Amino acid sequence: MHEMALTQSLVELIEDEGRKQGFSRVRVVRLEIGALGSVEPEAMRFCFEAMARGAIVEGARLDIDVVPGEGWCLDCAKSVPMFEHFGPCPECGRHHVQVAAGDDMRVKELEVE
C-alpha cells in the first residue's frame, strides 16, 4: 500500500513546515488528489489516522478533493476529460492523449494554531 508511504511523507512535510513557521497544531489538512494518480482517498484517510498519532496533525480533519483527469489530444488539438492513463480520446477515439491534470497530489491548505 503506497498510501502509507505517501501519508508518512505528508506528515513529515507538515511537521517540517510547523517547525519553520512556528505552528504547533494542525486542525485541518486539505489535499487534492488526482483521479489518475492511483491513490485511494479512503486508504489515505486510514493511513492518515494511523500516522497522525503523536504528530502535530493528531486529531486533524483530513479533507480530500478529487481532481478529475484531463488530457490534451494531439489529434483533436483540444482538452478532453481522461478516466485512465493511456485511454482513448473521448472525441476521436485515438490514443494520442497527454495527461494535463489529475495525476498528482498536493496539499491545498492547512488550518493551524
CATH number for the domain running over 2-68+102-112? 3.30.2320.50
* DSSP-derived pairing of the beta strands 97-101 and 69-73: antiparallel
Query: CA–CA distance from 9 to each of 6, 30, 48 (Å)?
Result: 5, 15, 11
Q: Does residue 43 contact residue 23 with C-beta atoms inside 8 Å?
A: no
Domain extents for the chain?
A: 2-68+102-112
Full-model pTM = 0.84
Give the CA-trace dihedral at 78, 81, 83, 85, to 10 degrees.
30
Each of the 113 residues of the chain gets a pLDDT tens digit; together they read 589 999 999 999 999 999 999 999 999 999 999 999 999 999 999 999 999 999 999 999 999 999 999 999 999 999 999 999 999 999 999 999 999 999 999 999 999 99
Going by C-alpha positions, the residue among 78, 69, 111 that lies closest to residue 96 is: 78
